[in-house]
Structure 1
Amino acid sequence: MILVLTSPDDTHADRVCDLLDQADAPWFRFDPAAFPHSAQLTVTTGATGLVQRLLVTRDHSLDLAQVTALWYRRPQAPVVEVPGIDPSHNAALAEECQHLVRDLWETLACLMVPASYWVIQRAQHKISQLQLATALGFELPPTMVTNDPSALIAFSRAHNGQIISKPCMGLALQRTGYYQYTRPVTRRDLAAAETIHASPMIFQKLVPKAVEVRITVVGDQVFAVAIHSQVSHHTRYDWRRYDHDHTPLTPHTLPPALAAQCVALVARMGLTYGAIDMILTPNGRYIFLEINPNGQYLWVESRTGVPISAAIARLLQTGTHRTVANLVVSEGGIACLLE
């Protein structure tokens, strides 16, 4: 059984579940936001360890011991709305529920795509990404992460004022309705450099672009697409400032050695899936920027035809149930399976 954790409106999951149906592969889709108001979880332990992990919804009952693969797509947090109690109490109850479901998924000894919650969270750390990418031989732009105004000014001078800025994470900013895209650091920014004191930022040397490359790794398969971001002024510094009508996407072939590096990066991070962003310079150099361990991909597939959904569906079908006794934890805290 393949367990898909995501929201009801996730079109990525819709597509993959359709493909699983075509392959007669059993799957169950669950959004933790349904817990506890319309779902129940029961975990029983005994002398030999976990005896039962049962998920019951309004129309289905799933013994989690039967799960062979878990797709941790876009699950929402549990929602608790008990009438007549203080909102802070509802929030505390929701936090308890969130703690339980995250703990429960960690006990599943099965294939996880892209990984368990905590591995995904760790994989989003930008400095750690850069450190690992360097160790694996990727070329990176000169980078500084700081909230020190004087360090920023010195970094700008060292690169003749040709630097860009981007947030360290950005998710907290998104929750406020504000998001800062990658953009050049201007003289006005440097004059107001004191403002970074409360907001550390990532600063990098501005790298000339022929195209940007989105590389999606699924298991040991690599799908690369060139984003012609320099065609549109709107996307020149950050393709996420979408201008679909004026930003062509085309399938792209990576050098075999670079494709192997991408697979190695995803695997070393404890992931089975990852979306890597790189720059291809006018003189043919590939520059690593970052990896999103659970990045969206359907926008790439729908515009280029690269079969990422099919690759994910096939990967999920390779999962087999393993006992907890076969699980070990590596030095980096990543759960590994003993063959």
Structure 2
Amino acid sequence: MNVLILGNSSDIHASHLKQALTQAGVTVDYLDTSLFPTQLRISWEPNNQVGYLKDKEHQWELKDIHSVFWRSFTGVGIPSLKDSQQNRIAFNDSMSLLRTMIKACPARWVNSWQAYEFHKEKPLQLCTVGQLGITIGQTIITNDPDQVIQFAQSHKKVISKPVYGGAHTKVLTDSQLNLKRLHLALSLSPVTLQEYIAGTNIRSYVIGNSIYSAEIRSESLDFRQDAEAELIPVELPEAMQQQCLAITKALYLEWTAIDWRQTPSGEYVFLEANPSPMFIHFEKQTGFPITKELVKLLIS
């Protein structure tokens, strides 16, 4: 059985899972797309749907790859070219073949390209989850200063975060509502604003049909910034567990970490579903068998 991990050994989660799979008797290697096209070779024959991957040490036929774990996607590593047009053509050609390989490979992807693409459109993700009948917080994504001010005035406390991701959540301050500053910032990029929801952070890991949840006690607005956050295992109500499975299916995920905010009245508000969450610290603190469940998912 051949299993690939999308990423490389510099990622602690990728190396941790590689070790676990190896101990389970699986042949596992890294698929580092940053080495393509300089060191990684990809071939694809559309007429008979045969494809190959080859690096300095290995060669895999796509049909022989059982599963791929999507840890991190680094795109392609195009050498720097003086001619910008040639550089653009080289990048587009390489990405086209790489995307074809990812989509055409019949292996089980955990998670798929489709899930990865969906995650990049976080506003659409929120909308999709809301259409399932799951509660989401009041949100606006905009680069219109007037809309920002109107939204801020409509809520007692507002948080801001990037539309795509890559930065932490922050409380919107009065200084940020200065018109001159707003016009400058929003002419560069839009922003996501959400009503602040008082309550408790809950994170639910979904692996296949298994669900593991914990309350996260932290003084930080964004608990990812708090190394001292306390993790306390909890059992979600059956209705919430069904919502976890519904979200996972709707977002084309095989596994995910879903972040919730539980209000003082007991209502669960959806915040986000991550298609490639970190899990080692969570597993150590809670004792949940996340690694074991991932190995099982990848070899099933």
- How far the C-alpha of 1:125 sits from its partner, in A, is 1.6
Taking structure 1 as the reference length, the TM-score comes to 0.80
Which residue of structure 1 aligns with residue 149 of structure 2? Answer: 153
Distance 1:207 1:75 in 2: 32
Report matched runs for 1:141-290 at 5 Å. 141-159=137-155, 161-171=156-166, 179=167, 181-192=168-179, 193-198=182-187, 199-209=189-199, 211-230=200-219, 235=220, 237-240=221-224, 242-245=225-228, 247-290=229-272
In the alignment, which residue of structure 2 is the partner of 1:336?
A: none
8 Å CA contact 2:115–2:275 kept in 1: the answer is no
Deviation at 1:90, TM superposition (A): 5.1
Identity over aligned residues, as a percent? 27
* Count of residue pairs brought into register by the alignment: 295
- 1:154/1:44 CA distance change after superposition, 3 Å: closer
In structure 2, the residue matched to 1:101 is: 98
Q: Deviations over 1:155-188 (max 9, x none)?
A: 22222x32221111134xxxxxxx4x32222222
Q: How far, CA to CA, are the matches of 1:255 and 1:152 in structure 2? A: 36
Matching residue of 2:128: 132
Structure 1 unaligned residues grouped into runs of 5+: 172-178, 319-339
SS in 1 for 2:71: strand
Superposed CA RMSD: 2.2
Alignment CA distance shift 1:154-1:86 (3 Å): closer
**Where does residue 279 of structure 2 map in the other structure?**
297
1:4-83 aligned within 5 A: 4-46=5-47, 49-50=48-49, 52-81=50-79
SS in 2 for 1:312: helix
User: Which amino acid in structure 1 is aligned with residue 261 of structure 2?
Assistant: I
Note the alpha carbon deviations across 1:206-249, whole angstroms, 9 max, x for none.
Answer: 1112x21122211111121221123xxxx1x2112x2213x212
Equivalents in 1 of 2:286, 2:175: separation in Å?
40
Q: Counterpart of 1:202 in structure 2: which amino acid?
A: T
CA gap of 1:41–1:148, structure 2 versus 1, over 3 A, is closer
For residue 313 of structure 1, report the CA deviation from its aligned partner.
0.9
Aligned to 2:112: 115
Return the letter of the residue paired with 2:146: S
Q: Deviations over 1:281-308 (max 9, x none)?
A: 2332211111122222223223332221
Whether the aligned pair in 2 keeps the contact of 1:124 and 1:292 (CA below 8 Å) is no
Cα deviation for residue 53 of structure 1 reads 1.3
Say if 1:97 and 1:194 are closer, same or farther in 2 by CA, change over 3 A: closer
Distance 2:123 2:75 in 1: 27
- 8 Å contact 2:63–2:107 — kept in the other structure? no
C-alpha distance in 1, partners of 2:103/2:278?
A: 23
Cα distance between partner residues in 2 of 1:40 and 1:110:
18
Q: How far off is 1:311 after superposition?
A: 1.1
Query: What one-letter code is carried by the residue in structure 2 that aligns with 1:56?
Result: K
Distance 1:78 1:186 in 2: 39
Distance 1:200 1:81 in 2: 31
Query: Structure 1 CA distance, aligned partners of 2:183 and 2:98?
Result: 42
Distance in 2 between residues matched to 1:39 and 1:147, nearest whole Å: 40
TM-score (norm 2): 0.89
Conserved in 2, the CA contact under 8 Å of 1:279 and 1:289?
yes
